[in-house]
Chains A and B, each alone.
Chain A
Amino acid sequence: MKRIVAETAVMLSLAVIMSLSPYYSWLFVLMSIYSLLTLSWLFMRKAGRISMGHSFLFGFPVFLASAGYSFSSEVSIQLFIAGCALSFVIFYIFAEMTGRTAFVFLTLVFSIFVWVSSPKLVFEKGGYLTGGEVGFSFPTISQKELHILTGGTLTLFYLIYRIIGESRAGYFMRAVGDDETASKAVGIDLRKIKALSILLSGMTAWSAGIIYGLEFGHISPEIFSVEISVFPFIASLIGAGNPFASVLSSFGLVYLSKILNSMYPGLMGIVYAAILILSPKIGWWVYVKGKRLDEKAG
């Protein structure tokens, strides 16, 4: 418990320190959005499902909401709720239909399909065409309000993640993630646990999506990009699967991408590609280090 409090205190301190300058406040919001995306991904991984199409869960409800916002706020809210429900159902069906490996590829292929097909959503409003590659506008709030909202949301979902991790439901999720057959044998309801992990993952990703919309005041089909899909995998890999380290690595990756992309646009994409290519080696190194730490702790 002490550890969770200390980690939360570090995050809140970062939120306070970064609120002092408008640029760093903006950056903090962006870093927190990606950290929420990573936490969302970790929720799903806990139950043994590695998503490589997390941009869909993150972007779909807010993309629909932004399209609906062209008509009215009410339509926007209704479409957001429908988007949340639909993205949950699609991921749940994928998790039920497929094994672990197939889930990775299915989510990746599906998110790419959505990324490629979402620019086709174009409609006429007041004599102007809206949508397409440009996307839709979204309401914004002041930077100060957004900073508080983001800091609060990140802290809330981090605490939920840690508290659930220590609960019986968390044990069940990790047991299912490790060995489905052994979990069935001790009476764990696999469907319920998978649904719970996808729901928690979805709630975190949907919140991140809303904050993303509020930060930029605009949603384009780029919200479904492969870069966003693979981000949580890379952040979690660097953070060795530890939630706090993964949040910090998300912060670090966003900051690094700002530096590298300002030096040469697209440079961060090369870094992501290199990490993905080297991921089995990095993963093995992390595994060995983790095992040594476990042995020391034991």
Chain B
Amino acid sequence: MLMAENIGVAFNGLQVLRGVTFSVERGTAVLVVGPNGSGKSTLFRAVMGTVKYRGKVSVDGKVIEGMPPHRRFRLGIVLAPEKMRVAENLTVRENIEISGRFRDAVRIFPELEHLKNRKAGVLSGGERQIVVFSRAVLSDPSYLLLDEPFQALSDENVERMISEIERRKRRAGIAIISHDRIEDVVEICDTLYFMLSGRVRRVIEIESAEQAIKKLEKYMIL
């Protein structure tokens, strides 16, 4: 299990996360939602170790305090960051080969084949997003943190991504932050975290997508 307990993060004296507790088990998927500025991305960054935080993060019972991101990665935690962050001066193929075999990425997204020699800096938003996602899943994570993975994607690629997440979920724990396609994502998730002002306001165990959406609609407009 990937467990973050009582996580606090402050930037320049401003408290962004206040005692957030969050967990994801292998074989499950969780969805983290909340308005902009609620601290969702900061939570993922704290778990990955790319920001300083207070509190405790453990993976499969092992506390990983003070561990740099590349060592957390070796323990199986992988973050696909928001804002479609890729290495702009590398080609699509080179970006993906940082994590794994290019042909495995083409199996998920066939259009990568004709984009392979293009520099990532000249890709469209949707194309960049599939590069970010491919890079993350090809490293075979035990715990995959996806921050806004569906942004700017075509319906076809959303479908492909969701089925890949479902496939990966069999042996990995997956946490997703999303503002888009919540109805579809809820279908494959087991737990829903609603965050507001740096705190987890509600944890909803998903029995059915309709029930979860109904509960969530009490807190935000979908």
Contacts and interface: CB of A to CB of B under 8 A. Distances in A.
B115 A186 contact: no
The listed residue with most A CB atoms (<10 A of its CB), out of B69, B73, B132, B139, is: B69
B119 A182 contact: no
**Interface residue tally on A, bucketed by range:** 20 to 34
A291 B50 CA distance: 31
B175 to A, nearest CB: 13
B97 A168 contact: yes
Interface of chain A, main secondary structure: helix
A279 interface: no
A184 B48 contact: yes
Nearest to A297: B117
A191 B118 CA distance: 28
Contacts of A190: 68, 70
Interface string A280-295: 0000000000010011
A147 interface: no
The listed residue with most A CB atoms (<10 A of its CB), out of B98, B118, B119, is: B98
Contact of A298 (B48, B78, B118): B118
A178 B88 CA distance: 6
Given A294-B122, A298-B115, A188 B88 contact: no
Contacts of B89: 174, 177-178
Contacts of A188: 70, 98
Given A172-B98, A175-B98, A291-B122, A186 B88 contact: no
A191 B70 CA distance: 10
B73 A171 contact: no
B90 A186 contact: no
Given A186-B135, A295-B122, A297-B117, A175 B90 contact: yes
A182 B85 contact: yes
Contacts of B30: none
A185 interface: yes
A179 B88 contact: yes
A182 B87 contact: yes
A178 B139 CA distance: 20
Nearest to B73: A187
Given A174-B87, A178-B89, A298-B118, A184 B69 contact: yes
A70 interface: no
A174 B90 contact: yes
Contacts of B121: 291, 294
B117 A298 contact: yes
Interface string B112-136: 0001011101100000000010011
A294 B90 contact: no
Contact of A175 (B69, B95, B122): B95
A254 to B, nearest CB: 28
A115 B89 CA distance: 35
A74 interface: no
Given A171-B97, A172-B98, A178-B90, A186 B117 contact: no
A140 interface: no
A243 to B, nearest CB: 13
Nearest to B76: A187
Contact of A186 (B78, B94, B119, B122): B78
Given A171-B94, A175-B98, A294-B122, A187 B70 contact: yes
Nearest to B138: A186
Nearest to B120: A178
Given A189-B70, A297-B117, A298-B122, A182 B86 contact: yes
A149 B122 CA distance: 41
A294 B90 CA distance: 11
Interface of A: 168, 171-172, 174-175, 177-179, 181-191, 291, 294-295, 297-298
Interface of B: 45, 48-50, 68-70, 73-74, 78-81, 85-90, 94-95, 97-99, 115, 117-119, 121-122, 132, 135-136, 139
5 contacts: A171-B95, A175-B90, A182-B87, A188-B70, A190-B68
